[in-house]
Structure 1
Amino acid sequence: MSDTPFGFGLPPEEPDDGDEGKKKDPQSGGGQGPANPFGFGGMPGAGGFGGPGADNPLAAMFGSLNPSDLGAAFQQLGQMLSYEGGPVNWDMAKQIARQTVSQGTADGTKDASVGPAERNAVQEAVRLADLWLDDATSLPSGAASAVAWSRAEWVEATLPAWKELVDPVAERVGTAMGDVLPEEMQAMAGPLIGMMRSMGGAMFGTQIGQAVGVLAGEVFGSTDIGLPLGPAGKATLLPVNIEAFGKDLGVPKEEVRLYLALREAAHQRLFAHVPWLRSHLFGAVDGYARGIKVDTAKLEDVVGQFDPQNPEQLQDALQQGMFQPEDTPEQKTALARLETALALVEGWVDAVVHAAAKPRLSSADALRETLRRRRASGGPAEQTFATLIGLELRPRRLRDASRLWASLTDARGVDGRDAVWAHPDMLPTASDLDDPDGFVHREQLDFSELDKMLGEAADKPDLKKKDDSSADAEDTKDTDKGDDTE
């Protein structure tokens, strides 16, 4: 996990390549912006108009900002101060995410529109994946359609889900900003608190936009982090990311695409046919977020010393760790619930995809292990969760959950394994992931005892005859009573 629980920091600055590093109009989709998307950089006297040491008050405010960027800087500052929406400025988040996507990934891969050939290849891969999965799970297909997205399209389509995930955390911060001052001072400080909240929404929007933009350059579909981020029923693959992922693996790209299509299609089946699962997962995230506390002492210091001419001050406070998870039994329970739920989803997908791919793809084992290591080494999914809600998934939980689902398959078959998803109370717990074989053995005994009891009851004709005789006697007695009454 990062040094700050939420990892709220700007990405490393790119080397200064002269004009290549200039920020361009975000609407143009081109150019490489500065590391700070608001354009506020440098220290007083660092340069700007007139060069180093110029006697210019704007240079002290905006540092080394190029004159051509002045309009954009004031425009973004105005957006920060005028925002009156929810706890996160999602318009800004979308703008930053798209700008991040347009810059390309660290390996130089640029986003590109998806062509007809790639769309057809994705549709064919998802169709074949669904056929293979029919033998590996009792859950029917959950994909009404298969789509191929660019990174920018992924950003647009998943932002509603990110909003649902992140707003609970950001809301706590906004509430804390209004609570740090004594009640008698809050009315007097209303404009300042409003400004702080507006800038807080912009800062959250910036950080989330950067995180989502970076993630868009890494994911393969709409379910990579174990949550349904895209529209229901749409199996999604990102051809540009799959191409970049597979180029150094030594595996035919068709097999890479098909294996990732299996994972996406398996997720879609689970989320489509376990109707309570989405709300269970998002509820676990919300429950964890409710246990986040804000360092009010640090926030009071920020509010007391806040300088409207230094909008990066709030950014610095975010970077220095203003948010901490509560170290309480309730918060630990919420964390365990969330980690376990996500591990069970990912473990089930891992087990089902392996069962479907192993007999058919020679590269199945290698691809499975590559993806597992990618997750264990702190891949984009874990980093994004750590950035947005202070949570970094435990990689070992995935292997434990996969082993549990495989053991359930051996003990009860595919139908018996998938029946565990019938109700959240039937799911394994965190302690069950520590002892998968114990869970399977215990559950098997419980079901066996139940079957035995039901079977014994059905095989006792004397008992049934006795029950019938008793019932007849009761009827006769009731009839006699009726006659006496009359």
Structure 2
Amino acid sequence: MAESDREDDQSPEEQLQALIRQLFGGAGAEVDPEQLARLSGMGIDPAMMQTVMQHLQGAFAGAADKGISWDLAKRQALHIANQDGRGVTDGQRTDLDQAFVLAALWLSEATTISELSAPPRTLTRGGWVEATLPVWQELAEPVATSIADALTEALNGQAPEEMQGLVQGAGRLIRMVGGSLFASQLGQVVGNLSKEVVSGGDVGLPLMSDGDAVILPQNFADFGRDLEIPHDQLALYIATRELAHARLFRHARWLRLHVISQVTDFARGIHVDTGALEELASRFDPSEPEELRRAIESGVLLPTRSEAQTAALTRLENLLATIEGWVEIVTERATSRLPSADRIAEAVRRRRAVGGPAEQALSSLVGLELRPRRMREAAAMWRAVTDAVGVAGRDALWDYPDLMPTAEDIDDPAVLVARLEARARGEEPAPDEMDDELARLLAGEHPGEPSGADGASSEHGDPDGQAEDPRPA
């Protein structure tokens, strides 16, 4: 029987199976347009299917042994970032360069952490995408892998018995399709974020290389448009804040890994809602991938956080709040000469608390919220520390990971302040002695004053609670 006669006897489902088998032949295999035309019995548009097959064929040939290909995410993000075609003008670059110079001088009066080794710079939206996408990929890959694995399992469970062999054989391809859809969504989120962020440290995560301070002039202009604040003051404040953030991560070189590891710890705990995915797979139409795309984008596939995930997110929020609280206090002191500093600071806080549409989309995509809920409390802690032990004593807490304030210190800065004041006096009490001293301090007693079993108000004292004099009469 001729090959064409055998194809005519095939059902549409069998013809689709043949096409998928053909896909495994690699990029050099040709897809027959007449064969695609026969898929009309399945309600699939042949032209659309031709395009899908070509993209999948090329992607599969290039990513067969590399896991999820992030090239699609990069192309998507750059397409969105470069849509308006605006670049950085010479005037914008000059204004911000001058702001960085003065901000560096002011910042050196507000912190003992040294200046950057590399000069700060302006960056286009596309440049920000190029610089930060590797970090976004690292943070999102655990979720992408989880979705791809779950999609494979769900489709295996939903496939008819006669197609089990085909689906199992195409498991790697199905994983790639799910991962590619996720990568496409990530590209959209990062591309839209590039139109919102004003500076390198704007999101709170260490997206730039250590010691790299940048401002995006396009977004800086948009941010200040409705604030009715003089442009030069706004530039000085944003430049100071960005330099403070960059200086901190350059000084505490362990901090970047500390933040990234906490984010990935949270992401690794994400497991796809198999019930929602199986329900989606039961009605999944290969010719209509938009439903799967919408499900990934909305976050419906990510179930309610587990207790472990909630704990991981709380640790991350406390860490980000500790970092941003320090940045806020240092920026506040460095920009005290600016008449509009308080107004700008409140605008920045409000903007960080609300977040933009792209940041909210990132929360839906990977379940990660980047708005530190405790930034005000952390800033109050750093303010108390600065008042107690000065700038040098405050900044020394970033010298080693073990010295960094904890969540308990944010809750009750008095413990941290008492410990630092004791250290400033040359005293290094043991932890249990420190607790005793703090308890006496909070009780209104003087440090070092005996109490309890040591003599004060003991059962061996007089009725008025005074300790007996142990010296002989």
TM class, shorter-length: 0.7 to 0.9
C-alpha separation in 2, matches of 1:197 and 1:324: 20
- Confirm or deny that 1:440 pairs with 2:416: yes
Unaligned runs of 5+ in 2: 1-38, 431-473
C-alpha separation in 1, matches of 2:89 and 2:49: 38
Do 1:347 and 1:398's aligned partners in 2 also have CA atoms closer than 8 Å? yes
C-alpha separation in 2, matches of 1:58 and 1:386: 40
Q: Number of residue pairs matched?
A: 385
- Confirm or deny that 1:379 pairs with 2:356: yes
C-alpha separation in 2, matches of 1:70 and 1:192: 17
- Confirm or deny that 1:422 pairs with 2:373: no
Runs of 4+ in 1 over 6 A off after TM superposition: 69-74, 184-187
Q: What secondary structure is seen at the aligned counterpart in 2 of 1:135?
A: helix
Deviation at 1:313, TM superposition (A): 3.9
Do 1:274 and 1:422's aligned partners in 2 also have CA atoms closer than 8 Å? yes
Choose which of 302, 308, 311 in structure 2 pairs with 1:333. 311
Do 1:292 and 1:323's aligned partners in 2 also have CA atoms closer than 8 Å? yes
Cα displacement string for residues 83-107 of structure 1 (whole angstroms, at most 9, x for unaligned residues): 546554321111111222244xxxx
C-alpha separation in 2, matches of 1:187 and 1:442: 68
| Structure 2 counterpart of 1:290, one-letter code | R
Deviation at 1:285, TM superposition (A): 0.3
Do 2:96 and 2:122's aligned partners in 1 also have CA atoms closer than 8 Å? yes
When the two chains are superposed, the root-mean-square deviation of aligned CA atoms in Å is: 3.2
C-alpha separation in 1, matches of 2:419 and 2:134: 39
C-alpha separation in 2, matches of 1:70 and 1:327: 40
- Confirm or deny that 1:288 pairs with 2:266: yes
C-alpha separation in 2, matches of 1:172 and 1:86: 16
- Confirm or deny that 1:234 pairs with 2:212: yes
- Confirm or deny that 1:343 pairs with 2:314: no
Map of 1:392 onto structure 2: 369
Deviation at 1:426, TM superposition (A): 2.4
Map of 2:168 onto structure 1: 190
Map of 2:8 onto structure 1: none
Deviation at 1:121, TM superposition (A): 2.5
C-alpha separation in 1, matches of 2:45 and 2:398: 56
- Confirm or deny that 1:95 pairs with 2:72: no
Do 1:295 and 1:324's aligned partners in 2 also have CA atoms closer than 8 Å? yes
Map of 2:86 onto structure 1: 112
Map of 2:251 onto structure 1: 273
- Confirm or deny that 1:409 pairs with 2:386: yes
C-alpha separation in 1, matches of 2:218 and 2:426: 52
CA pair 426-178 structure 1, distance change in 2 beyond 3 A = farther
Do 1:150 and 1:238's aligned partners in 2 also have CA atoms closer than 8 Å? yes
C-alpha separation in 2, matches of 1:445 and 1:232: 31
Deviation at 1:171, TM superposition (A): 2.2
| Structure 2 counterpart of 1:114, one-letter code | V
- Confirm or deny that 1:259 pairs with 2:237: yes
Do 1:111 and 1:240's aligned partners in 2 also have CA atoms closer than 8 Å? no
Cα displacement string for residues 349-387 of structure 1 (whole angstroms, at most 9, x for unaligned residues): 1110010001x2111100000011111223357425414
C-alpha separation in 1, matches of 2:169 and 2:257: 37
Deviation at 1:73, TM superposition (A): 6.6
Greater relative CO, 1 or 2 (CA 8 Å, sep 6+) = 1
CA pair 424-58 structure 1, distance change in 2 beyond 3 A = farther
- Confirm or deny that 1:166 pairs with 2:140: yes
C-alpha separation in 1, matches of 2:76 and 2:186: 8
Percent sequence identity is 41
Cα displacement string for residues 54-94 of structure 1 (whole angstroms, at most 9, x for unaligned residues): xx95995469xxx9x99877755656666546554321111
Q: TM-score, normalised by structure 1?
A: 0.71
C-alpha separation in 2, matches of 1:217 and 1:259: 20
Map of 2:300 onto structure 1: 321
